[in-house]
Structure 1
Amino acid sequence: MLKSINTSGWPVMKGKCPTCPFNKDENGRETAPEIADMVRSRCLTEASQICHHPRLYGKKEDHLCRGARDFQLEFFHRIGLLETLTDEAWENKAQEILA
């Protein structure tokens, strides 16, 4: 069972880290499609994804994944929940829902 962590208020990475599963190769394909699919499913049904990159170097994980957030923004914008594809729109909607 996965450990539950409250990531409310955590910042999102400014860009995708070098090992982000949402990065694309020179042919436009995701570098880790199976992992990206797993993260996509989880970040739509359970929680935002914590960026794994710091863990690879023994550092504290304290940011959310930019690749996963970009996917969330696009999905929730397409279904009309977010007005724009921005972190600000995400935060505003989260505050509205939690109010």
Structure 2
Amino acid sequence: MTGQLDELGGKIAQVSDIYAEHFKIDRSGDWYLLKLQEEIGELTQAYLTATGRTRKPSGEAAKAQLALEMADALGMLLLLARDEGIDLDAAVQDKWLSWLDRDTPE
């Protein structure tokens, strides 16, 4: 059964393939993990800006940039999971959503 994250990851993989082919990017080895790290850095910078902790002005444009950086980080995480053969839908169910089925925390 295909989950929502897997479906989203498939669509993002299509875009990533187009991008990599267009720019001749070799995505072998640890590329996905390194790219995720880069995106997390950009997300951090956007968060600091959006929350008024940089010299750049915060506001709606900063919030919009924060949203785009979150999308980048999520996209790269989905690509990394796909490349590693990880079922993120199952992992999220096991790690997070299974708590909704428990009477008390373990």
- Normalising by the smaller structure, the TM-score range is 0.3 to 0.5
The structure that has the greater radius of gyration is 2
TM-score by length of 1: 0.33
Higher relative contact order (CA 8 A, sep 6+): 2
TM-score by length of 2: 0.31
